[in-house]
Structure 1
Amino acid sequence: MKLVRFGAIGAEKPGLVDADGKIRDLSAHVADISGDTLGAESLARLRTIDPASLPLAPEGVRLGAPVARPWSFIAIGLNYVDHAKETGQEIPSEPILFNKLGNTVSGPFDDVIYPKGANRMDWEVEIAFVVGKRARYVEEKDAMDYVAGYAVCNDVSERRFQSKRNGQWVKGKACETFGPLGPWLVTTDEITDPHNLSMSLKVNGELKQTGSTSTMIFSIPYLLSYISQFMVLEAGDVVTTGTPPGVGCGMKPPQYLVAGDVMELEIEGLGLQRQTVVPFTG
C-alpha cells in the first residue's frame, strides 16, 4: 500500500493511493496514519479494503507527511562512502546517530523555511524507514519485522549550525521544516529490495545528487538493530538513513540554498517531493 495524509496543516486525514494514483479517504477506518495504524495486523486489515469503496479526496489536496508526528526522528550520518569522502570525514566504523525533532517533519510539497542567521543551508535526499512496532534489543535477522514501510526524506541541513557552532549536529538538523517526508509511506510488501533503489535530487532543475541505496554502508536491518541497542523505537518513529554524494557542502566551491530555490527529490518506487525555500518571516 501507499499510505498518505492529506488536508490542511494540523487537520490531515488518513488515506491511501489507489491503482490509478487517486487518493482515497481512510477516515472511516482509521483515525490517522500513526503508530496505532502501522502494526502488522492493522496493515493487514487495511489491505482487505477495496479502494473503490472509499471516497475520493479532493482533487489537488495538500499532502502532509505520511505519518503523524513521530515520537522519535533519528537520522544516520555519513552512511554512504562517497558522501563521507566528499565532506572530508572518516568512513564510520559504526553508525553515526543524531536527532531531528518530531516537529521538523513537514509535507513533501510544503515550503522549507530559511532559518534566521543561516548562510549554509544544504540538501540531502534519503530513504527513511518507519517503525511498525516497539523495538528494543532487536537482532538484525529479525529487524525487518519491525519496519512498516519507507518514504522519501529530505534531511535539510544548516552546515554552519551543524559544524561551526560547537556541540551536536542537531543544531543544524532540527530547524523548522527541515524534515520533508513523503509523498507516501510505502509498505514493505510493495518494495522488493529497499537496498537497490535509485535516488536523485535537483535544485532549480539542475541535477545535484544521483545514487542508489545499494551503496549504503549500513543496511536498514542493521540500523534498526543497532539503534535498538541504545534506545527504544516506538511504532510510528522515523529513521532516515543517510545521503549519497552531491550535497552542496561537498562541492568546490560549496553551493548552498537561498530563498527561492526549488528542490526536487525522487527515490525509485517511493515517489517525488518538491519544496521551495522561503525566508523566515517571524
Structure 2
Amino acid sequence: MTTTAISLLGVPTDIGAGARGASMGPEALRVAGLQAVLESHGLAVEDRGNLQGPGNPWQPPVAGYRHLPEVLAWNTALHDAVLAELRRERLPIVLGGDHCLGLGSISAVARHCRETGRTLRVLWLDAHADFNTAELTPSGNIHGMPVACLCGYGPPTLTGLGGHTPAITPDAVRQIGIRSVDPGEKRLVHEAGLEVFDMRYIDEMGMRHTLEQALKGVDDHTHLHVSFDVDFLDPEIAPGVGTTVPGGPTYREAQLCMEMIADTGRLASLDVMELNPALDVRNRTAMLAVDLIESLFGKSTLMRKK
C-alpha cells in the first residue's frame, strides 16, 4: 500500500440523483462496520465525520442541469476535503452519496497528481458510463454526468472545479462493468475515446483478463483511484441502489476485481457511491460493499506468493 493512514469522509447527499436515499449511504457503511473491518487489517483509520452542504430542494432541471448550485457546493466541499487528506499523505475513502460526487473527489485527486508529478489512473466501477451532458439527458440528473464533466464536457463551474480544465483526459479512465449507456452518450463515449470494459467484454474475456487490461501500465509512479458505484454489482446481490441494471458482476467476479486491484499495492484513494439504504434489505448491500472494500485492502483466502 502507498499508505496505511486512512480517512473516512462522509458525504450525505443525493443532490445529483433521480431517487432520494443515497444521502443515508455513509451511515449505512458505518453501521456495516467499515472502520472496524479496516482496522482489523492493521490500518490506522480516522473517521472525519460528514461534510456539510445544502439540502436537496427536489426541483426540475434549469438549463439542462438539476440542482447545479447545490451540486457545485457539495463537490467543492468534497474537493477541498479530499485534497487536504492527500496532502497529509492519507488515503481518503469517500462515503457517498450519489455519484455526482466523483467530480469533487477525482478533481482533487487529479490536482494532487499534478502537484506531485504522479500519473493518475481511475478505475470507474459502474453499471453506467456517467458520460452524459445536458444536451444528451432529459433528466438533467448530474450523477449521470461526472466523467463527462471531469473530461471537460459540461458547465465551466463543474469542469474547472480543481483549478484546471479539463481535470483529467479520457485516457486516465478505465470503466468496468458498464451495461447501460444512453444513445447520445454512446456516441460521445466513442468520440472521446473512453476505454470501456462493458459486461459483454467481461462475459467474453473474464474478469481476470479485464483487470489485467485495465491495470496495464500501473507502476510505482501511478496514483490509482477507484470510484466504486455499488450499482456496478448485479442487483440480485446488491439491491440497495437507485438505478439497478440486471446482469452485473457476480459476487466472485467482484471479489476478483477487488483482489487484483489490491495486488497492485497502488490504491491511493477510493469512492463508494450510490448506496441507498431506503431500497436495501436489512443493510445487505452495505455489508456486501464493506466486504468488497476489505478485499481492496488485502483480505484474501490464502497468503499469496509474490
TM-score (norm 2): 0.26
